[in-house]
Structure 1
């Protein structure tokens, strides 16, 4: 009787081993997805410039923020991401927080060893975006943005509006959440459809406002329709003209 039970245990163990061997590719992929901070997957759809899908799951690209749908360069960013990734196998390296509040995965997308998120910044199709604080990727991303500024590509191109050299950031108080703009030219500047924006989605668009020579104006979170705008862990201010061209930017 004891021999029969022992034989049954051996047979059962052999069967389990065979199941593991036969299904190793599946199990290996499952374990990597479950216990590691990266994943190999096929891109099935591109939603916009900084969001794609792998199967039924959405992935929000970390370290960047692309223009919203309908904004200048939004379609360019989407097309760039699609050309780079759609239908291809990519490696997704996840951040410390794997999901956002919308249950999207959060990661850096690599293909053939190249960081696609970073390439979007290099091509002026995204600005840097590190709302949870600067990590090991930040130096590369801010360096790419500065180089993009030097090259004047897309989002990095400076305005040729005569008032672009007049409007200065007189004060930017993070604790008090106040932005003060001042006209330092000897003529008036109409700021209609100019914008002030953070790294993320918080954006203020001017109405038909004229700033006379020497005048200044202040913006608070209330103007943005928010409780706060500028994050204490680091942020960037972008001021753009009515054609979405860069007037000035500063970061901390």
Structure 2
């Protein structure tokens, strides 16, 4: 993915800027046109760290620290604008951000610190590219994608994250001694009940398969569904 960005390096103009300070996982300040101005990365969204209503969201601090470290260690920071407006309603610069030639949006998506969001044409130059990277992170279940319902269409849901971490803790400490013993080697499907009482089954292709401690084992998906279990949401 990064190779594609580097090949297009001279296709669109980039503006060199100097870092002022990091603000959030997807926002920071630079010296642009002689003064400090905020930059909001196009097409991505990271969990909040200082939102007046949402407060600190899970993995928000990690996303912020990653962005801060990458920017502070950079020899060169550049902004690339899309064909639409280059400022939002808060007067923040809207841009694709390059750190020593590598697009920061791509790095955040690859690490599982960001989701593709705020898709407002015509500023959609790299949306397909970003969504392809996001799918790989979802498949690997890393970062914000580790917890099934944490990321939803309208943003990040702290309550879902916390319910799943509690379920994981309960599974680790109070699982049925016999539940993780396969009754038959051909029965590989794991049935798990989370803290909300949802019955979810995981096949060997599921991202959470290895980490799942089963309450029940099933030989087929049909068998799991007949027992009231559903497949994990994508």
1:85 maps to: 71
Larger Rg: 1
Q: What TM-score, normalized by structure 1, do the two folds share? A: 0.50
- Gaps in structure 1 of 5+ consecutive residues: 1-35, 160-193, 214-246
CA distance in 1, matches of 2:155, 2:81: 19
Alignment map for 1:1-252 (pairs within 5 Å): 38-55=14-31, 56-69=36-49, 70-86=56-72, 88=74, 89-95=76-82, 96-133=84-121, 135-159=124-148, 197-198=152-153, 200=155, 248-249=233-234
Q: Any idea what the Cα deviations from partners look like across 1:110-158, whole Å, max 9, x if unmatched?
A: 1222111111011000000143147230121111111111212111224
Structure 1 residues 212 and 152 mapped into 2: Cα distance closer, same or farther (>3 Å)? Answer: closer
Higher strand share: 1
Distance apart, 1:90 and its partner CA: 0.6
Where do 4+ consecutive residues of structure 1 move more than 6 Å?
210-213
- The two structures, once aligned, show a CA RMSD in angstroms of 3.0
Q: Is the 8 A contact 1:127 1:199 kept in 2?
A: no
Contact 2:25 2:63 in 1 (8 A): yes
Q: How many residue pairs end up in the alignment?
A: 145
State the alpha-carbon separation in 2 of the partners of residues 130 and 113 from structure 1.
24
1:65 and 1:199 map into 2 onto residues whose CA distance is: 11
